[in-house]
Structure 1
């Protein structure tokens, strides 16, 4: 049985954590499967949008402390035997749209992972926590990323107390983008993914890359980079199709090239 499943339908990839008997705690094998799934999505020309979700009642219980591959270093997703900068949750350059569909507890490694998603849709059953400090361990990637997403005090609430916040609190502070009833979670995530596939996929990726890279650039460098990306996108087949569809007053048929 695969610890992480990967399926594509209508340009939407669904990446599912599949270790429910262990509350989807991340061990070394599951981490490798998860990294492989994200690599596959990045390179899959037929996959334009990804949904990250999970089987079972718990989205992710964090790193598996019982896993011998990383000992305590697995907690929160840091395995001592390899750097994490190229994994999805720790900085992979991925400019396709991504959605997290979260139910139940989302802990440590799980929370780090959804922070890299563009949209977090959560059921009212969800909760979120970085409990590392309650074990005497620091949170690393979460401490880097969370203040970029939230106000400082709200980020520190999660990082420095180790206590979980409810789905409603997570929505209030901006960690969750959309809050839904549990039986609507998958339907709502899929509906949003379908909405995203209505736009030109290469234009989306160029736009997201501009937003990502210019966050650390000066204004002049940002504009120059953005205009360069515009020129690159302008010669794609999708641009010709988009303009043709506009003239013909019909929906475009994107091909991602």
Structure 2
């Protein structure tokens, strides 16, 4: 099965929706899917008409059950040296230049939760659960899962990784992993509505906000250095002038991304 058969890419104005489309396999990740997701993410970054990416899964049972173990045991390997592979890695690390909203239509475990952690905002189904069961299988979440402590209190992050036990969407909301918990049928519409709100804002400002807020959590010294760059780039941009003009003229701004 090719990546095009395992993924569905939808366009909603300035929003690109990347949908994992293997509901019968609980949207488990194959290597071809990883490349496909990476390629779609890279395409969104380079398309000036795309301002936000939404990640979701097909069906109502799972966002993603993690790596497809059959694919793994068959010897398939993921090459991060390719452009698509590198883009997937940046997505999982939260380094994609465009904002990413996740619509967690169902449970996400293992690599599926690692993919969710690459999103900036997570909308979750009330029926979903989230966890890292790797320790139960003699493994550990090696594709970004051990960085979950950047989004959660340390004790919760250690509990999830050391026990391998999942948490509910409501618990995820309470500890700050999830932004909103909604009924299953409202997950994607809620995520799209939020994505459109984000897309209404200036692209350059969005890129600056995403990079600086994330860096402030992971590398405060670098965040201070990058703040100087972004302050000059954004405050002297055409979009900054357009934002001021639009406010004075009481109209919607027309962003140029520069």
Is the TM-score greater than 0.5? yes
Alignment match, 1:228: 229
For the residue of structure 2 that corresponds to 1:59, the secondary structure is strand
2:56 to 35, 53, 56: 53
Which ranges in structure 2 are unaligned for 5 or more consecutive residues?
A: none
> Do 1:65 and 1:71's aligned partners in 2 also have CA atoms closer than 8 Å?
yes
| Structure 1 residue ranges, 4+ long, deviating more than 6 angstroms after superposition | none
1:7 to 4, 7, 10: 10
For the residue of structure 1 that corresponds to 2:5, the secondary structure is coil
Alignment match, 2:115: 113
Distance 2:95 2:165 in 1: 30
> Do 1:150 and 1:173's aligned partners in 2 also have CA atoms closer than 8 Å?
yes
For the residue of structure 2 that corresponds to 1:128, the secondary structure is strand
> Do 1:100 and 1:114's aligned partners in 2 also have CA atoms closer than 8 Å?
yes
Distance 1:229 1:102, change over 3 A: same
Alignment match, 1:207: 209
- CA deviation profile, 1:185-243 (whole Å, cap 9, x unmatched): 1111111111112211111112222223454143xx64453132121223433222112
For the residue of structure 1 that corresponds to 2:50, the secondary structure is coil
2:26 is the counterpart of 1:23: yes
Distance 1:165 1:212 in 2: 24
> Do 1:12 and 1:50's aligned partners in 2 also have CA atoms closer than 8 Å?
yes
Distance 1:80 1:119 in 2: 26
Alignment match, 1:151: 153
- TM value normalised by structure 2: 0.87
Deviation at 1:184, TM superposition (A): 1.3
> Do 2:94 and 2:119's aligned partners in 1 also have CA atoms closer than 8 Å?
no
Deviation at 1:159, TM superposition (A): 0.7
Corresponding pairs, count: 249
Deviation at 1:80, TM superposition (A): 6.0
1:182 to 168, 173, 184: 184
